[in-house]
Amino acid sequence: MSTTPEHLPSTPEHLPSTPEHLPTVIPHWIGGSLVDAADGHTFDVADPVSNTAYAQAARGSAADVDRAVTAARVAFPEWAGLSNRARAGVLYRIADAVEARHDRLAAFESYDSGLPITQARGQARRAAENFRYFADVIVALGEEAFRQGDDQFSYVVRTPVGVAGLITPWNTPFMLESWKLAPALASGCTLILKPAEWTPLSASLWPEIFEEAGVPAGVVNIVHGLGEEAGQALVDHPDVPLISFTGSTDTGRHIIRSSAEHLKTVSMELGGKSPVVVFADADLEAALDSVVFGVFSLNGERCTAGSRVLVERPLYEEFTRRLAERAANVRVGLPSDPATEVGALVHPEHYERVLNYVEIGRKEGRLVAGGSRPDHLADGNYLQPTVFADVERDARIFQEEIFGPVVAVAPFDDETEAVELANATQFGLAAYVWTSDLKRGHRIAHAVASGMVWINSHNVRDLRTPFGGVKASGVGREGGAHSIDFYTESKIVHVALAEVHTPRFGATS
């Protein structure tokens, strides 16, 4: 079923609004210089509205990664040797430089990824906050000390691991790059960032931001390219001791296998199929607002999307009907239009993948909203927000991550079944519970297998809290001091304060 809301233009030939100062070439940034790929190769970068190439990006290879690692290793001693306060000062300047480019950054992000411009502006603000936050963390973070009576004193020394490899996804790319860059820099690591090949545009702003903030040459290096080439070379490099990756579960598994060769430390934020459990006593309007926003904002291309909605049976029919009505009225349109709530999906390949799941869903559930391209948008990677009801637990659209504006709805009869359904997937990233009974809310939150749970709230995060999942949703935790733990090594130093009485093995007298 296609809909054409009256408040949206009906002209099919909408083209993307081209941002000012759009580059036609996106080079690497290695050792403080913009450079082409060592072999001169490039790849096309297209926008998701016209699917037309607007730029060429350097196509990184093992040679480019090796150049970047060399630059990072040269820069490491000086950067690691700075005081935490000095590094924090650089991070504050980075935040200021990000904010100074707020409008340009949002325009680049929206144009390149299809993200609605109003949501892209939010990502820009969050990126600046990430740098300020981790600057605060590294200054305030103390080191532990232990006293064993009057005999011995022990203290912990925290040191940066070395050269970090950061591999980031195509959804909200700039903000998620900042989420890794900020703690790595705060900790004293130098690094190589490999942005997602589908959305490298906003990353082209990092070099001027870092130069303006006074980041020394070689501390941050950016190598563009394909995951199986530049990304693989970064994972395989023996002088990169840790890898932080955000992306699909399958790719995460591959990176972990590859990293085992050099026993690298890894942090993996992977896929999700997060449940929203709605009890009959929930605040219906608030739960609806949360569900609609949680699965359709950011074009549904978010790891923590509540893409499985489980509703207690007495409320099920009304909730499903209201959800379908809301989905049909979501504003789908040009990403640069401030009225747009869902823009264009990021890439034709991903768009076809999501459409394939919609066709699967037609066989597995009852389509109650969306399911096709909006009538007023003949071109571009657009999909009307889609709702399937009466979805069984073994259905693919219930089990597999779709990563688009598609949601599956199913009923449950009691708490036991709610928890069973919530846990009935390989994933365990986030979960949401809606009920007026807070005792029950806590019971469900403790029973659901996920790294994060929100009760009577959508995804509102405190940067101090641990972020990550269980099962196939990831390995490790980031956020607050957890991120600093990942990018540093802790060494314990023991000091004798009194005479040490050691058994004298082998002594003759």
- Give the chain's end-to-end CA distance (angstroms, integer): 95
**Residue in 74, 37, 66 with CA at minimum distance from that of residue 216:** 74
| Catalytic residue (choose from 177, 269, 301, 364) | 269
User: Distance (Å, rounded) from C-alpha 127 to C-alpha 368?
Assistant: 37
Alpha carbons 269 and 168: distance in angstroms, whole number: 10
- Token pair of 158 as six digits: 């925290």
State how far the Cα of 501 lies from the Cα of 222, in Å rounded to an integer: 54
Q: Count of alpha carbons within 13 Å of 256, Cβ hemisphere only?
A: 16
H/E segment holding residue 42? strand 42-46
Tokens of 51: 């699917």
CA angle 172, 178, 181 (to 5 degrees): 140
- According to DSSP, the β-strands at 308-312 and 25-26 are unpaired
Q: Please report, for residues 144, 157, 215, 246, 306, the alpha-carbon distance to residue 323 in angstroms, rounded to integers and kept in the order given.
A: 51, 53, 48, 30, 13
Pair of tokens at residue 453: 């749970």
User: At 284, which helix (H) or strand (E)?
Assistant: helix 284-296
Rounded distance between C-alpha atoms, residue 262 and residue 163, angstroms: 14
CB atoms under 10 Å from CB of 148, counted, come to 12
Tokens of 494: 């023991």
> How many other CB atoms are there within 10 angstroms of residue 101's CB atom?
18
Query: Is residue 269 annotated as part of the catalytic site, yes or no?
Result: yes
Q: Which residues contact 268 (CB under 8 A, 6 or more apart)?
A: 245, 246, 252, 255, 256, 474, 475, 476
The dihedral formed by the CA atoms of 194, 198, 201 and 207, expressed in degrees to the nearest 10: 10
Written as one string, the DSSP assignment of 467-479 is: B--EETTEES-BS
Cα 432 from chain centroid (whole Å): 18
Angle at 196 between CA 190 and CA 200, to 5 degrees: 90
Residue 483 tokens read as 């991120």
Q: Which of 109, 197, 229, 303 is catalytic?
A: 303
Identity of the amino acid at 6: E
Nearest to 164 by CA among 141, 147, 139, 182: 182
**Cβ–Cβ < 8 Å for 1, 324:** no
The residue among 420, 452, 27 whose CA lies nearest residue 201 is 27
Q: Is 208 a catalytic residue?
A: no
Q: Which residues are catalytic?
A: 269, 303
